[in-house]
Structure 1
Amino acid sequence: MDTPDYSKYSAEQLRQILGRIDADRFPERVTEIEARLAELAAAPDSAPAAEATPAVSKAQPTATAILGRRILAFIVDMILLGVSGAIAGALLHAQFAAMGPWGRLVGFVVTLLYFGLLQSHLRGGQSIGMHLLGVRVVTRTGEPLGLSAAFIRAGIFCLAYFLNGAVIDSGQAWVYTAMFMLVASLTIAIYYLLLFNRRTGQSLHDLAVGAYVVSAGPGKILPASKQIWRGHGAVIGAAVLCVCVGTTMFFKYSPLGDTLAGLLSLQQTIGKMHGVDRVGVSLQTVKSDDKETHRLILSAVVDAATPEPQVLARRIALAALEHYLDAASQDQLIVTLVSGYDIGIASSMRMNNYVYTPEEWRAQQAGAAGAP
């Protein structure tokens, strides 16, 4: 049998042939194809005209066409994880609630295992959502990812997802600043590339391990032989730099930075109170009928079996009036007692709100002190 003239084929066609050829039977052809691919990579401008219209373009949709299915597959996967988390929460409610903010670590591990295992070679590079939507994760050669690569890829995405909204018990402003910068940087890079990298369709977690999301089909489906536009790196770098500089300048020079420092100090004080697991502190201004209502909101996570929650709420409000000077000038001081769990993929929270003016909180304390 005569050896085909591989000089007439495009790089895209050669990769497709390489994925189907029997290497044990035709090792010389594999060597010739790889040598031809190396020549084309070294001199892309000398590729034949067929490069512009590769024969496999009809079999492999563009990255833009796959994006919609990829997003829908992720939604399906998160629904499945959410249902699983809700069932686990119903069975282990007390255990998850006792974990406090560390409960999100449960969701992180479960999600990491789900995507890491299913999107590896163990399941052909397809999570359940990807299987239903007809897409898969592969390497440049069309093979599913190995376990380590699949876990690294999933870990980068899960880190951005689960750190967003995570509660950190710290009175240090720099900790919140660093966390905000990290989450913002990862989120910007992941979603920007997902939406605007239309050449290869790779996002940050894909690029980290050389993965591609392609249309599923029989045999190997090779990703398009395109290079990511280098300008994306400049855009992401500029955006991340703006976020980091802007955040630093805000905390250093803005009057609101001093306000935040006072709130963080108050948060630390209340967080040390007996019966309080952790607390969130915020200021809110509500406009209604040309009238502004200024509120100080204290959200404390407590045990569901806390005795006399009204008394605990009053202790929290009085601590705010004592340790935060601007508390007395607010129109309302709201204490919200929260009990339940949050594991990231599912949550169950019960809230009791206590809304009074600073004067009413003090009057309650005076009444309680004068009671026999």
Structure 2
Amino acid sequence: MLASPDWLSSLYRRVGALVIDAAVLVSIGFVLGWVFESYFVELSVWARAIGFVIALLYFGILNSELNNGQTIGKRLLAIRVVNLHNESIKLDVSLLRSLILITPFFVQGSGLPGALLHSFWIYPVSLVLFGGLVSTAYLMVFNRRTRQGPHDWICRTFVANVESDPQRPEPIWLGHSVTVGFVLVLSLALPAAVQQSNIAEPQPDLDRSAAQLLQLDIANHVQIARVDSQRDDVENRFTSAQVMLTENRVEDEDLAADIARQLLQGNDRIRTQGPLMINLTYGYDLGIFSSWDSRMHRFNAPEE
């Protein structure tokens, strides 16, 4: 007998379970942030690694045979992760499955350094980020035979309704395999296009200016970018600097002015780029929960 909706969970139940699990992880992140805020602020962009480990262990352990293949969301909606024999999966398989599932979501918005755009690592990052997210979304919506995402497909797992009889799954449609393969090839081709764009050109002078600002005791992460756009024949040029602070001084106009002064004095190109936007930011991002306070300060470059 081939697998039927009586055995495989519906997309709606899976999404519902994921929403519940996301709420649980957000609650965990909120409590941890309330207790360890200063520590997470010091970690800056690396704080997401803590959220990544928490999510990996949450899904990896609870979806394994240690908890009958059920996270909190799956237990509430009466579904569970199983193998081909409708049995709960081993812990190592569950951890791998969770790793494949959550990695693209944590890589997205992780603040990867600009230098990465000009190194070999942009190719695996594009494969994981673009290829992983698009493939997951596509298979979860359109793969109605087995209802497997890439994480299930690779690990040969399924999400089944509780107390359902084991059934032989249908083979995945060849067209889905071709589509996923095309998406993965495209994800490897994208970095070449990005590297050829003006936005992706290396700007060592901005890297040096960012490194100088990091010498300030109150700054733990700095990103500087030039913006040069045109809309309705109106040219918009300015330099944007995001400075993540170790203390909540986002309203400190004097601090922002001091940062702008250092940038203008140490970089002639910034002086000719138009206004300088200083975005003072305080907070943290765990990936499962974030808390931010920021304020934008505008300064005009002195005329020659």
Under TM normalisation by the shorter chain, which class is it? 0.7 to 0.9
| Structure 1 residues 19-53: Cα deviation after superposition (integer angstroms, max 9, x where no partner) | xxxxxxxxxxxxxxxxxxxxxxxxxxxxxxxxxxx
1:204 aligns with 2:150: yes
Which deviates more, 284-293 or 168-177?
A: 284-293
Secondary structure at 1:277 match in 2: strand
| Structure 1 residues 215-271: Cα deviation after superposition (integer angstroms, max 9, x where no partner) | 122xx542552011233232122223233323313313x33433xx22x65145313
After superposition, residues 202-351 of structure 1 pair within 5 angstroms as: 202-217=148-163, 221-252=165-196, 254-258=197-201, 261-262=202-203, 265-267=205-207, 269-273=209-213, 274-275=215-216, 276-284=219-227, 293-304=236-247, 309-321=252-264, 322-323=266-267, 325=269, 328-330=272-274, 332-351=275-294
Q: CA RMSD in A?
A: 2.9
Taking the aligned partners of 1:82 and 1:57, their CA distance within structure 2 comes to 34
Q: Residue 72 of structure 1 corresponds to which residue in structure 2? A: 16
Q: Which amino acid aligns with 1:177?
A: I
Secondary structure at 1:113 match in 2: helix
Equivalent position to 2:52, from 101, 105, 108: 108
Change (3 A) 1:222 1:268: farther
- Report if aligned partners of 1:267, 1:279 keep a CA contact under 8 Å in 2: no
Taking the aligned partners of 1:79 and 1:265, their CA distance within structure 2 comes to 43
Taking the aligned partners of 2:128 and 2:238, their CA distance within structure 1 comes to 30
Secondary structure at 1:296 match in 2: strand
1:166 aligns with 2:110: yes
Taking the aligned partners of 1:307 and 1:257, their CA distance within structure 2 comes to 29
Q: Which amino acid aligns with 1:128?
A: I
1:85 aligns with 2:23: no
Query: Would you tell me which structure has more helix in proportion to its own residues?
Result: 1
Change (3 A) 1:234 1:113: same
Secondary structure at 1:161 match in 2: helix
- Report if aligned partners of 1:104, 1:343 keep a CA contact under 8 Å in 2: yes
Taking the aligned partners of 1:265 and 1:221, their CA distance within structure 2 comes to 64
Please tell me whether Structure 1 or Structure 2 has the larger radius of gyration of its CA atoms.
1
The unaligned stretches of length 5 or more in structure 2 are none
Identical residues among aligned pairs (%): 25
Q: Residue 7 of structure 2 corresponds to which residue in structure 1? A: 60
Secondary structure at 2:80 match in 1: strand
| Structure 1 residues 179-219: Cα deviation after superposition (integer angstroms, max 9, x where no partner) | 344311221222221122111011111112111011122xx
Change (3 A) 1:272 1:157: farther
| Structure 1 residues 320-369: Cα deviation after superposition (integer angstroms, max 9, x where no partner) | 44437266233x3211111121111111112122112223xx79xxxxxx
Taking the aligned partners of 1:167 and 1:116, their CA distance within structure 2 comes to 25
| TM-score, normalising length: structure 1 | 0.71
- Report if aligned partners of 2:210, 2:223 keep a CA contact under 8 Å in 1: no
User: How far does residue 317 in structure 1 lie from its aligned partner after superposition?
Assistant: 2.9
Taking the aligned partners of 2:128 and 2:5, their CA distance within structure 1 comes to 40
- Report if aligned partners of 1:108, 1:162 keep a CA contact under 8 Å in 2: yes
1:177 aligns with 2:122: yes
Taking the aligned partners of 1:231 and 1:58, their CA distance within structure 2 comes to 21
Taking the aligned partners of 2:50 and 2:154, their CA distance within structure 1 comes to 24
Larger RCO (alpha carbons 8 Å, 6+ apart): 2
User: How far does residue 100 in structure 1 lie from its aligned partner after superposition?
Assistant: 1.4
User: How far does residue 307 in structure 1 lie from its aligned partner after superposition?
Assistant: 11
Secondary structure at 1:244 match in 2: helix
1:187 aligns with 2:127: no
Taking the aligned partners of 1:143 and 1:324, their CA distance within structure 2 comes to 65
Which deviates more, 239-248 or 159-168?
A: 239-248
Which deviates more, 109-118 or 288-297?
A: 288-297
Q: Residue 126 of structure 1 corresponds to which residue in structure 2? A: 70
Q: Which amino acid aligns with 2:292?
A: M
Q: Which amino acid aligns with 2:198?
A: P
